[in-house]
Amino acid sequence: MIPFNPAVFVYLYIAEMFLWIAPLLILMTLLIVVRIFYVARKEQLPILKSFWQHKIFAVFTLFILIITAVSSFIAWEFLTIKRELQAINKPDSKYSQQERHQKMRHNFVLEHDHQYGEFIFPKGTLINRYDPSDSGEENYPLILSGLRYAKFPEPIEIAGILATKIEATRGLVELAEDQEVGPIHYYSSKYGEYGGWVVDRTMPTMFCPKGSIALFEKPSGPRTDINEEFWWKEKDGLEAHFKPSEWQFRSCDNRFEIDILPAFGTPDAIALEEAEDVRRAAEDRVPQTIVKDGVVMDAEPVEFTISFYLEATNHYHFSAKKSGLAEDYEKAYQIFLQAADNGEQDAYYYLGIMNLYGEGTPQNREDALIWFHKAVDAGNSSALGMIGTMYLKDETVKNFDQALEIFNKAAEKGDLTAEFYLGVMYAEGLGVEQNYQTALEWFKKAGHLQYGFGMTGQHSLSIQAVINVGQIYAEGLLGEKDPKAAEPWFEKACYLDSDIACNLWETVRN
């Protein structure tokens, strides 16, 4: 199907009106011409002279001729467009053939090795690409410009990683086996004149398990000259700006997937298209309803329920946090309660937070614990960290033994809060024997790049964990003072916008 919009609809409607008017105008024009010819012969005058003797009649005639020409042109255009639209869905039409050729070149398997930038894609690689310059001609060359995804026939090294798949647009690489990957980079607004990516000197490599996704930062390519002909067309071959050796590794993550479409015409691709057709047909048949506050309202296809949780989080973050007004917090709290009553378990954590800090409801630590425990039962590991924090710091419920037990459980699930406060407990000897070596290990885990270092922001506990590691080395809490070991940790925290760390970094360097 081609894109359609109301403007096109109005144009076609007007054009169809002209299609009906045009024959009448043509007939009227012919009658006028016959009339002029008849009068001229009767008065024995040249046709043009006879025509201009009656000025009003002549002007009217010219007007009719112009209107006839315009309406005939519009009517002809409409007929042409109508024929083309009718031909689009025919399997043997020009448009269907062009669409087929485009699909064949969008998703295909390489029949031979292909050079693309600095990398050679091996024969048998499944390619997904989009090329805006491909208008569907039969003999258009099969190139890799517009590369989006690639799945290799067997593991191959790219960007220093043994990989099975890549997503070229975002710099994602799927690992073919367990690997140590590095060097690691993080983003700093303080690095360079305009900010930039810094090599993390605190940890040269990161362990990434098989099947996880390595995230890279891709340096910007060459600037495009918009005045150059075909400026929008990407290069192919050696001229392509595809240089994985320049990609800067950030971290590994198992929350991402690289979904590659099968090659056009294969059984998998046909099955996928058939399933999509069935889904669309089902959407057209199923009446849509909106359910809220027990009221069912008809709408468009696909049945869904409005989420109180999403409404509450939007109000909490964009209204209550921004204004700081009690009534905004109260409204957010009431919507979270509705979400919880509606079985939306993600609301439990926010209800715990709001009870803990007295946002939108009177401060109630017992209720906060109840909601946090509900969130834990629903699978929220962050809530487990909050429970441990309450047992560690809150005077009304303080219990180091329970805090230690809960933090250990949460840390097994990779919870930042738990890792950080386990470091605090071992560093200060809270409920455990003081052990700086164990504290150091937990602080290093909490200072890991996976906790939001990069362009998406930083987590304050992670930055504090990085500073704590530096201080353990700088103050000699493991033995002798080691400013050299402390320096990269203070540098990292400084680049992540900690002024305290910047001062400490300056101290250990001098």
In angstroms, rounded to a whole number, what is the distance separating the alpha carbons of residues 349 and 371?
6
In angstroms, rounded to a whole number, what is the distance separating the alpha carbons of residues 194 and 200?
19
* Cβ neighbours around 223 below 10 Å, total: 6
User: What tokens appear for 198 in the block?
Assistant: 């810094």
Q: Residues near 223 by Cβ (< 8 Å), separated by ≥ 6?
A: none
Structural domain boundaries in the chain: 6-88, 97-220+232-253, 267-305
pTM: 0.67
CA separation, residue 329 to residues 61, 292, 306, 307, 360 (Å)? 75, 22, 21, 18, 4
**Can you count the helices (H) and strands (E) in the chain?**
17, 16
In angstroms, rounded to a whole number, what is the distance separating the alpha carbons of residues 73 and 61?
18
* pLDDT score at 240: 87
Q: Residues near 264 by Cβ (< 8 Å), separated by ≥ 6?
A: 103, 104, 106, 107, 108
Q: Could you read off the pLDDT of 436-494 as tens digits, one per residue? A: 999 999 999 988 765 454 333 447 888 999 999 999 999 999 989 999 999 999 999 99
Whether omega for the bond prior to residue 6 falls within 30 degrees of 0, making it cis, is no
* pLDDT score at 456: 36
* pLDDT score at 241: 87
Contact (Cβ atoms closer than 8 angstroms) between residue 423 and residue 462: no
* pLDDT score at 306: 54
Q: Residues near 251 by Cβ (< 8 Å), separated by ≥ 6?
A: 184, 206, 214, 215, 449, 450, 454
> 3-class SS at 195?
coil
Q: Could you read off the pLDDT of 360-371 as tens digits, one per residue? A: 899 998 899 999
* pLDDT score at 234: 72
Contact (Cβ atoms closer than 8 angstroms) between residue 125 and residue 110: yes
Rg (CA), the chain: 35
In angstroms, rounded to a whole number, what is the distance separating the alpha carbons of residues 355 and 371?
9
* pLDDT score at 150: 97
In angstroms, rounded to a whole number, what is the distance separating the alpha carbons of residues 320 and 359?
9
Which stretches in the chain have pLDDT values below 50? Answer: 1-4, 229-232, 288, 290-296, 299-305, 451, 453-458
